[in-house]
């Protein structure tokens, strides 16, 4: 069936097909409304459709989208009635539809799980800020605070410096990272200081692992080995920097948590050790920020980080829903073709069924977990999700009113 060509509908169900086609396209635009008025003039008078066994000509409008053409192909296939069963529709697309349903469900589950974690983390942070103890200084070691969440700011102190003697590297920091661009025979690694403290508090291994803001640097001394050369901040294992050969190795060093830096911590005080604060639900709170930060600033930054950290999974969930809808396009279009209102929403107004459904469904799923915890945010997201459908319903009713007025003329 090509655009601009005539399609003859004869035999049983002709009337039903004509009614469907007219309802689907008569309200799309003034141009197509005029077209369908020409094709079916009796429809604008008193619904004097031809008999079920009559004959009408359907001409596909030039410029019709692929989605519209597909609906016409389905409805003009007189091997089955226009209101045929879904089993017939699925006969040639059952595998794609099944795969689409699996991907659609997986995307929904990922979004629900991800938002559930985000809401739980946000609730935990709000509860923690109510119970945190702000220590006046890093030297305030009070046994009454054992087991409680504390906030402390102070100067970071590290014991023995971390070294790489072959490169003349020595850095007094919590972490020293060696990054090798070709990891053979030398491997990348991260050295962690055994002794780190803030005032009178020692840092547990879990808190030391939180220092991940690395800064590149080079040693003050040239390497003693002749096959190791320093150039532009990189250490080269080669014979000639200007004439690289296969197998040459480049090494780069960086540090995190340098001694003497000011840091702010949120952690549980256990004696003189700071470690992650465990909640009754099993989640932990251990926050390390460089510089001096108040409790409110640290919790606000954690809320922002919590919201942003969920976007990769939100994107993954949306992609799965989008692809799932793409696989199930046949059944969705078949369902939409049976209901003029749904057809208006899914195909005519959006142009892309998959984009409309996946975007709105994703926002809808994201909104539900937030409705009970932060109603203003949840309801705003719900409004965004249903606004396109609300707009379509209004325009659809408006066009129906215009049609009725035209019929009375």
pLDDT, tens digit, 9 for 90 and up, residues 57-116: 444 454 555 555 555 554 444 333 344 455 656 666 777 778 888 998 999 999 999 999
What's the pTM?
A: 0.65
Lowest-pLDDT choice from 28-42, 108-122, 239-253: 28-42
Structure tokens belonging to residue 42: 């009796």
Q: Is the pLDDT of residue 143 over 80?
A: yes
What average pLDDT does the chain have? 75
| Each residue's pLDDT tens digit, 286-343 | 999 999 999 999 999 999 999 899 999 999 999 999 888 888 776 666 665 555 555 5
State how beta strands 284-285 and 277-278 pair: antiparallel
pLDDT given for residue 130 in this prediction = 87
Per-residue confidence (pLDDT) for residue 65, from 0 to 100: 52
Can you give the residue ranges of every domain in the chain?
1-84, 85-132+294-409, 133-293
Calpha distance 175→261 (Å, rounded): 13
Q: Which of 4-8, 195-199, 283-287 has the highest mean pLDDT?
A: 195-199
196: which strand partners? 158
- pLDDT tens digit string along 153-188? 999 999 899 999 888 899 999 999 999 987 667 788
CB within 8 Å of 186: residues ≥ 6 apart:
180, 237, 249, 251
- Rounded Cα–Cα distance for residues 83 and 12 (Å): 12
What confidence tens digit (pLDDT) does each residue in 374-400 have? 888 889 998 888 876 666 666 655 555
Distance CA 150, CA 285 (A): 11
The CA distance from 320 to 114, in Å, is 14
Q: Are 71 and 7 in contact (CB under 8 A)?
A: no
User: pLDDT by residue (tens digit) across 300-314?
Assistant: 999 999 989 999 999
Per-residue pLDDT at 227? 81
């Amino acid at each position: 069936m090509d655009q601009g060509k005539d399609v003859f509908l004869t035999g049983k169900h002709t009337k039903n097909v004509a009614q469907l086609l007219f309802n689907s396209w008569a309200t799309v635009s003034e141009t197509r409304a005029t077209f369908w008025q020409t094709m079916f003039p009796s429809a604008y008078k008193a619904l004097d459709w031809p008999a079920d066994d009559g004959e009408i000509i359907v001409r596909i409008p030039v410029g019709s989208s692929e989605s519209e053409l597909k609906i016409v192909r389905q409805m003009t296939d007189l091997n089955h009635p226009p209101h045929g069963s879904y089993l017939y529709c699925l006969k040639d697309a059952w595998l794609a539809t099944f795969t689409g349903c699996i991907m659609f469900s997986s995307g929904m589950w990922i979004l629900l799980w991800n938002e559930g974690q985000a809401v739980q983390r946000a609730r935990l942070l709000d509860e923690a800020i109510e119970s945190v103890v702000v220590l006046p200084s890093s030297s305030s070691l009070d046994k009454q605070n054992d087991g409680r969440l504390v906030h402390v700011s102070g100067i970071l102190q590290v014991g023995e410096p971390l070294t790489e003697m072959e490169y003349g590297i020595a850095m007094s920091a919590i972490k020293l990272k060696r990054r090798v661009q070709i990891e053979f025979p030398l491997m990348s690694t991260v050295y962690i200081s055994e002794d780190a403290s803030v005032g009178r508090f020692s840092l547990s291994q879990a808190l030391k692992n939180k220092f991940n803001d690395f800064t590149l640097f080079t040693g003050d001394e040239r390497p003693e080995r002749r096959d190791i050369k320093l150039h532009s901040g990189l250490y080269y294992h080669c014979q000639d920097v200007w004439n690289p050969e296969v197998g040459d190795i480049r090494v780069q060093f960086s540090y995190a948590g340098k001694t003497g830096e000011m840091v702010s911590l949120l952690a549980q005080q256990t004696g003189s050790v700071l470690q992650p604060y465990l909640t009754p639900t099993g989640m932990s709170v251990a926050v390390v920020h460089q510089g001096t930060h108040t409790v409110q600033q640290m919790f606000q930054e954690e809320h922002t980080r919590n919201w942003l950290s969920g976007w990769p999974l939100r994107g993954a969930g949306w992609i799965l829903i989008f692809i799932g809808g793409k696989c199930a396009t046949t059944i969705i279009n078949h369902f939409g073709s049976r209901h003029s209102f749904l057809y208006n929403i899914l195909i005519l107004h959006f142009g892309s069924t998959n984009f409309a459904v996946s975007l709105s469904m994703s926002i809808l799923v994201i909104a539900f977990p937030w409705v009970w915890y932060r109603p203003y945010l949840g309801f705003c997201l719900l409004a965004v999700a249903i606004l396109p459908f609300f707009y379509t319903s209004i325009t659809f009713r408006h066009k129906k009113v215009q049609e009725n007025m035209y019929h009375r003329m």
